[in-house]
Structures are given as C-alpha cells and as structure tokens.
Amino acid sequence: MPKRPTIVDVAKLAGVSKATVARVVSGQHDIVSQETQKRVVDAVDKLGYERNSIAGSLRTDKTFMIALSIPDITNPFWPEVTRGVQDTLETSEYAVVTVNSDWDAARELKYLRMVRRNRFDGLIINPTDANSTHFRGMGVPIVLLGSGNGYAGYDSVGSDTESAVQIALDYLYGLGHRRIALIAGLSARRKNTSRYHSYVDFLARNHLKLDPDLVVHSDFSLQAGQDAMRQLLNLRQPPTAVFAANDIIAIGAMQTAAAMNWRIPEQISIIGMDDIYMASTSLPPLTTIAKPKYEIGVEAARLLLARLEQGDDLPIHAVRLPCELVVRGSTASPAESTSRP
C-alpha cells in the first residue's frame, strides 16, 4: 500500500518549512507570499496531500463535523430532511454524520456520548427519549427537529403539525364524512401526540362526539397501520374515513382494507401525512398532507450555523413551517351507508 503523503513531504517538495505549509493549508495567506503559496499548492496537488483534520482540531478545537440523529432511517421522510441538512452544512465545509436511534433510548444515549467523545461541533436531533438534562452536558450547539416542546432553551425546526391535522380533518368533513377515525402514531417520549389533541379539538369544534373506538394508538410502522385498520374495519360501525399519523401507517391501512375487500375510496377514505414518494405510487394514490421535509433540514442547518457563529447571543428560535394538502385518489365523499364488503 502506498504511503500517505505527509506535511513533511509537501515541505520538502516545495522547499519550505513545515510551518509555512501549515499556514498555507489552514488559510493563513496574509503572512505567506503569493509565490510561496503557489509552490505549496502545487506540491499539495502533485502529492495528493490531505490535511490531518484530527491534528488540526486539537489546535483549533473544531472538527468541522456535525451529528444528525434521526429516529427511523427506513422511513422515507428522513432522507429528504437529511439531504437538506447536508446540502446546507457542506457550503460551510462541515461534514454530516447521520446516526439512526431506531426509537431506542439506549442507542440514542450511546450516540450522544459519541458526539461528546469525538468532539463534534454541533448536533441536530429528533429526540427519542433524551431530555434537556442530557443535552446540557453536551457542550455543543443543538437544534431539535420537531416541535421542541419540553426542551426550553433550544432552537427547533418542524412543520406546523397541529394546523396540518386540522387541514386534513376539515377536508374529510367537507367531503361529508362524520365518522372519522384516527390512527395516532406514538413516539417513545410522548403519551399523546399533537395529532390526537388536534383530532379532539376538531371534533369539539364540529360538535362531534369523541368515540374511543375510532382512535387507535400505534407506532409509525407499516405493520401498525395494517393492524390498526383491521381493528377499525371490524367495528360494529366502521368509520367512513381514516386519518393516519404518517404515510407509512396510511399505506399499511390501505393494504389491509384491500385485503379485506374494502374499496378505496368508495367505501373507506384514507388520508396520510408527510407526502413520501410511496404516497404518489400507491394504489390508489394516497391523499396526504405534504410536509416541507427538505426545507426543515435546510432551516435546522441554518440555525445551527448561526448558533456556531454567534453562540448564546442569539435568541431561541422555534420555527414552524406550513404544510399543504395533496388530494389524490384515496379520498371521496362517503357512500349513503358504510357496509361490510
């Protein structure tokens, strides 16, 4: 295996000292002549030399590495958020290391220790179980993905989920649905979600009775959507429409409805949230609430960069980005009556 070129090799080829090479590759051009800079740059290019960022970080106390912690790498929602984070941070020469907590509290805490141990410059995280006490010991700027509720003192970026749920439910109500079910995803750190609270508010606003049988609490998986839909369709009086906490759940619900010979949307309407790619390719295509996934990542990265530059001088920001209704083929006005297939 060829030997990796060192700063000594560059200095020897350029005919300068190691200190001069270090000044050039670290950007201290004001104290090195242009002619010497050119010799060093030519030597670097010829040898393929790469600066030792670990050694550099010991001098500057910066690694130019940012950790991004997401809860479910298999959910197509998160790659778009990740891309927004990465595209934005790369313009400032930061590398992004993405870790997947998999909704596991122990794994999440292990990654937090990794961030401290490896001297990351910052953290962007959608928390699974970590709380403000864990974050206070990190010693780096932190931006939360999501509402940030319960995390006073930290910047946060998310979508306006409460309004988005109202948009979805109002749309179903406008179609004529009155018996609307909710498959409410649950995170590890919250017993009731904002989706559930918005659902209860919607019922109260429209003078509809809360029927506990029409609310199914589940995780955010395809299997959870399948199981929840089976439970709902086996009710003595099934719903005419279902709002699912995310598109993965909604697609699972659609699969169960089709397997039980329920026609979508003629006998049951289904609407999801997120607008992942699969929503547009399902049969029928899924009506959903589109979240600004890429923009969430971009805004989180911008807040982190600002915090890295200005520290605690900045006020805390809680950014909520709007969502949009995307109408496709999985929703329609209810039939005269909903009967079993």
Provide the pLDDT confidence category of residue 93 given band limits of 50, 70 and 90. confident
Residue with tokens 């329920």: 262
Q: pLDDT, tens digit, for every residue of 257-279?
A: 999 999 999 999 999 999 999 99
pLDDT at 238 exceeding the cut of 80: yes
Q: pLDDT, tens digit, for every residue of 313-329?
A: 889 999 999 999 999 99
Residue 341 located in a structural domain: no
Is the same domain home to 179 and 140?
Answer: no
- Average pLDDT estimate for 94-103: 92
Is the same domain home to 283 and 233?
Answer: yes
Distance CA 52, CA 304 (A): 25
% of the chain beyond a pLDDT of 90: 60
Instruction: Supply the pLDDT for residue 232.
Output: 98
Residue 249 located in a structural domain: yes
Q: Which CATH number do you get for residue 148?
A: 3.40.50.2300
Based on the number of CB atoms within 10 Å of its own CB, is 327 exposed (0-12), middle (13-18) or buried (19 or more)? exposed
Residue 243 located in a structural domain: yes
pTM for the model: 0.79
Is the same domain home to 155 and 304?
Answer: yes
pLDDT at 147 exceeding the cut of 90: no
Is the same domain home to 18 and 109?
Answer: no
pLDDT at 138 exceeding the cut of 50: yes
Domain residue limits at 189: 161-291
Distance CA 14, CA 8 (A): 10
Residue 113 located in a structural domain: yes
